[in-house]
A and B are shown apart, each in its own frame.
Chain A
Amino acid sequence: MMVVLKELTTEELLAPGHRLCGGCGASIAARLALKMTRGPTVVVQSTGCLEVATTIYPYTAWRVPYAHIAFENAAAVASGIEAAFKAMEKRGAWKEHVDVIVFAGDGGTFDIGIQALSGALERWHDFVYICYDNEAYMNTGIQRSGATPHGASTTTSPAGSRIPGKAEWKKDFAAICAAHGIDYVATASVAYWNDYMTKVRKAIEVDGPAVIHVLSPCPRGWRCDTSESIKMARLAVQTRFFPVYEIEHGKYALSVKVPKPLPVEELLKSQGRFSHLFKPEHEGEIGNIQRRVDANWNRISSLCGEVQK
């Protein structure tokens, strides 16, 4: 069941006036997710852009209870909160059910926070973990993470005359989460808002852990215009660069089919972080990326039971 625009609440639980950049995908991911809450909700955040730009004391953009504790431990903090509500309910000190939603960036998730997340998934806490993936440590100034795509130039994987940006490939985060045997994992893109929001609600309704990996463009780090965020988020899907699917009870299903994909070059040429790939000294890299994208798409769509073309 898809979300319908006219039925969406106009209430903004992430208030305007925060200090995130124009075109920031993270603010869109958080705002849309909070429109899908089903009742009392607590938000937990790892350190990152979304945190520093929305909670500058004495101001806050959050109209829900909100806890930021540190960088690597959002899932562990959520575990404690969920456990505490349950325990207090048991001794009669608390009445209502409270949903716990984590927002964490790709650095706080793919890299420094993966242990705490893995532990929380294994312990089966009832919470939703939303990783807003802008594909680098944007808060500290665009350093590479385990989510940064191959070939992207960041301040710690700079494109030089010898090395064409990041040498390694992006982790398959959704598969890592799914390997815990949890009931719900999904990828999403902020460009496909109704798909994303539907997934958020689905994740909340899961009794146990659920993870959403949402692609959230960062114009500053991707080197594109702030007006092009949504376009970039769509291009990543339309080039099959970022497949959008869900894994329910271990079963993969493609959410956005891309029967006529654009060449990945269309995405690469639209973002400054890949501009060096078009220089003669790095010839062949674009072809490498296209082959990897094709192979990944075939793998995912095969898991989703799609007929290969």
Chain B
Amino acid sequence: MPCEGDHDDGGVKEMRTRMGFTGDEALAYAAKQSTVDVVSAYPITPQTIMVELFSEYVANGEVDTNFVCVESEHSAMSACVGASLTGARVLTATASQGLALMHEMMYIASGLRCPIVMGVANRALSAPINIHGDQSDMMGSRDCGWIQIYCENAQESYDWTLQAFKIAEDPNVLLPVTVNLDGFILSHAMEGVEVLSDEQAKRFLPPRRLDCRLDPKNPATIGALCLPDYYFEFKKQQDEAMKQVPAALAKVTEEYMRLTGRRYGMMDEFETKDAEVVLVCLGSTAGTARSVAKELRARGKKVGLLKLWLYRPFPSNEVADVIAGSKVVVVLDRALSFGAPYGALCQDIVSTMYTSRSKPLISNVIYGLGGRDITPSEIGSEYEEALAAAKTGVLGEQVKFVGVRE
């Protein structure tokens, strides 16, 4: 339903529009407003809605996008790399096994500095086969050189998709981005999403500036063989590009804030300033955790929440600044890292805090695998236990499985 906007854009008050979207649809709608030249994708639950809706836009002539409906995710990412090198703005989407099948190509997309945006409806990995939400898929590709953003709700799915293209295509960055949505919880749940008009979106994100690296007038060899004498330098440069992400992200999110009033960044904090216990998580669980933290705050408990939007590059210094003042940090991982000391997110938090002057106790909660819900009471118990540990200075289990039958 349109309503009057609080923020003006270029001096002209524009009407705000709210639409009912699932997370998948919100991503597809943002893509529709992003002048995407090529979409290459392969269907997989729970990502399918993204590509189905986008196909409808193509079928109805609402976009000029060339939709390449390929025969596998491996080919989807391969076609995306080819199209991106040609200079096109490129989108794909996948989940779970599809992401795993793309794994090889994800390193090549980042190594060749292709600013592709990929929606990932996070889903468990086989075996046993399971189509529901957890973050094992993306965690398996966390070192592939992609910028990785996690969304809490459908609004964020819309907002981050528009911003993702702009961050990816920043000339100092030129790296691909994944926009992660928890499978089903976000991909399929309908919410109200405030959207920009097509004109506003186009002003924020104009068509991709022509950057054809396969230009017949200026022939270049892409994907050359680099032996020990040069390979390392390429990888170092790629790492430098990754380091440019926070600055690019700050610029883009600031511009987006001026346009929409919605402020994004590397992370989102709730009552962390004086918190004795900070819970850290990714994705939709932050919504549940925030409501629990609110209740506990109302009862005078000093608890806070740190939700990371940006997982790669990992905002180590900023995370340390937020949690260094707390006594206990509870890190929620919706994925297992078999044989490792902690879940993936917790490993990053622990290594970040090792060099911090103050060292809060850190406990790791593994939860929600294969789409199992985590309840407010379970999160409440974790907060309570951590508050107790904050008093005694002693943690119970370092890594704990919550919500699983023993």
Contacts and interface: CB of A to CB of B under 8 A. Distances in A.
Interface of A: 40-42, 44-45, 51-52, 55-58, 60, 62-70, 72-73, 75-81, 83-88, 90-91, 93-94, 96, 98, 115-116, 118-120, 122-123
Contacts of A118: 71
19 contacts: A42-B214, A65-B213, A65-B216, A65-B219, A66-B214, A66-B219, A68-B221, A68-B222, A69-B112, A73-B78, A76-B70, A77-B79, A79-B70, A83-B66, A87-B88, A91-B37, A91-B64, A93-B207, A94-B210
Interface in B72-113: 72, 74-76, 78-88, 90, 104-105, 108, 112
B75 A56 contact: no
B81 A77 contact: yes
B225 A57 contact: yes
Nearest to A85: B86
Given A73-B105, A98-B216, 14 more contacts: A40-B216, A42-B86, A52-B225, A57-B226, A69-B82, A70-B78, A76-B79, A79-B75, A80-B82, A80-B83, A81-B85, A88-B87, A91-B35, A93-B87
B201 to A, nearest CB: 15
**How extensive is the interface on chain B, given as a class?**
35 or more
Which secondary structure dominates where chain A touches chain B? mixed
A119 B72 contact: yes
Q: Which residue, of B75, B76, B222, has the highest number of chain A Cβ atoms within 10 A?
A: B75
A67 B66 contact: no
Nearest to A40: B216
B88 to A, nearest CB: 4
Contacts of B69: 123
Interface in B141-165: none
B74 A73 contact: yes
B212 interface: yes
Nearest to A119: B71
Given A76-B82, A116-B71, A116-B78, A86 B66 contact: yes
A83 B214 contact: no
Contacts of A41: 216
Contacts of A87: 37-38, 64-66, 83, 88
A73 B112 CA distance: 15
